[in-house]
Chain A
């Protein structure tokens, strides 16, 4: 089985647009939406849930008021400023500041703090018109997004093996931090979707650096390439300098937004130039895989 992850560094360059188009074009595959804190692929593929499960991402501290002697040891030791104190409420945990490291639980001389399993979100296996999809929803403001991404990928792989499918396509998150690392480590190929803006180029270079760090081969595609042809040339030059294949250049076209509003992938919505370019791009990517 081969695994492809689509990432960008900068948000909003068109990762999900490209993923949804590939979902329409690729056969015998499973899809995984690895952008778990702002997942959007389901808006195009309108999945029907086959199963849904809680995601237990870790443990969180809980203070037993009956045992707490208000000695303040937890407050003194916590490095996250996550223990609040007021005369009325005593010692309480600020869940947004808490990193769930358990130091307070270990340190409490009264053993008043225990670590309890926390549900940080839900994950689903669903059917879509393009095949099966694994996706998730991280709870609002919850931690452990990297772990949830790993879980989604692991479940998608199991599903592909069970259904004897050859390909897994992951829609990745923006950035270069923990969820991105979880979405790309160990994959066969990464496609970086960028745009010809200074931000797009800056972020592409950093995310390419991350691919190199993990020794993962990468391809590049430029979205809205005709917005700034000088910058597009800079991307071409960067790619040839770093031996990165540039697999496609997509023009700025309102049809991309129209397709999204109609909840269709761009190749389902339109058979014009954008579709043609994306199809050729998919041809190059699948060849590389």
Chain B
């Protein structure tokens, strides 16, 4: 079972919900798909057992074979190639690694070389009951703008026998869509503010287009207004958990402590949340 934890708006508590769920759910697997700013490791404190570079195949032009016809530059939808003063220039940061240039080159002058755009780290963390579970995250190299290929690498770690929890990046564009694709359920974490609601509506729109059923967690549920609840009722989206603001909890979070280690009550809440998700998926 694959569960994506997303939000639209940043800072609503995606990582809090994802990590705490991973700590109590049986046979869990935690995969951090927020490869720009991965934070799950700060709370789960995993032992990293393996690090691999994530590479993107970028073109390499053999000048001896190149006839400077310019078809590669014409074919590239991302403007990553240009013929400038008797030479083909490759702008590696614009390249998506799609392979179109090498395909169209009539001289077979283009081969591909792997450019490191980030790394994949995998290992294990310990659940509240002491059992080990799989941890994985991707980390994009600073300056690399293209993150979906790294997210795809993280998703290759999905084990279908596990309760896989994928921590999504914020927003509603390609990195978030890439994370959600193929999930059985999406849990949206929001807060009852105008920003929270606006971004939740956009995020729910993505889940609906992808035909993924969803549920809501309202974090800091006693701040703001009632609009989120009205929205969920109107749209028939179940609210699976509400967590009121608690300064002690926020302080624990700031130090990288997981809520389920901090509060017995919350541990029970997250166990219930797990059961509710399983029930929702079975519907």
Interface-lining segment among A22-30, A139-147, A151-159, A278-286: A139-147
Contact A175 B37 (CB under 8 A): yes
A146 contacts B225, CB within 8 Å?
Answer: no
Contacting residues of chain A (172-222) with chain B, CB-CB under 8 angstroms? 173-181, 195-200, 202-203, 206-207, 209-210, 213-214
| A103-B100, A210-B142 given; A140·B209 CB < 8 A | yes
Is B98 an interface residue when CB atoms closer than 8 A count as contact? yes
**A interface residues, how many (CB within 8 angstroms):** 68
Given A38-B9, A40-B9, A96-B210, check contact A175 B145 (CB 8 Å).
Answer: no
Residue B26, interface by CB 8 Å: no
Counting CB contacts under 8 A, is B271 at the interface? no
Judged by a CB distance under 8 angstroms, whether B140 is at the interface is: yes
Q: Mark A1-22, 1 if CB is under 8 A from B, else 0.
A: 0000000111111001000000
* B244 on the A face (CB < 8 A): no
- Residues of B close to A100: CB separation below 8 A: 77
Q: Are B202 and A37 in contact (CB under 8 A)?
A: yes
Q: Does B256 contact A (CB under 8 A)?
A: yes
- Identify B194's interface contact among A9, A140, A261, CB under 8 A: A261
The residues of A with any CB-CB pair to B shorter than 8 Å are 8-13, 16, 35-40, 43, 58-59, 77, 79-80, 96-97, 99-103, 106-107, 115, 138, 140-143, 145-146, 173-181, 195-200, 202-203, 206-207, 209-210, 213-214, 227-228, 231, 252, 254, 257, 260-261, 263
The one of B103, B171, B173, B225 in contact with A143, judged by C-beta atoms closer than 8 angstroms, is: B173
Interface size on B, residues (CB 8 A): 60
Closest CB in chain A relative to B208 CB, distance in Å: 8
Q: Determine how close the nearest CB of chain A comes to the CB of B104; give it in whole angstroms.
A: 5
| Pairwise interchain contact B98-A101, C-beta atoms closer than 8 A | yes
Q: Which residue from B11, B147, B148 sits with its C-beta under 8 Å from A12?
A: B11
**Cβ A10 vs Cβ B39 within 8 A:** yes
Q: Please tell me if the beta carbons of A141 and B172 are within 8 angstroms of each other in the complex.
A: yes
Contact for B146 among A142, A177, A207, CB less than 8 A: A177
Kindly state whether residue B232 has any CB partner on chain A within 8 Å: no
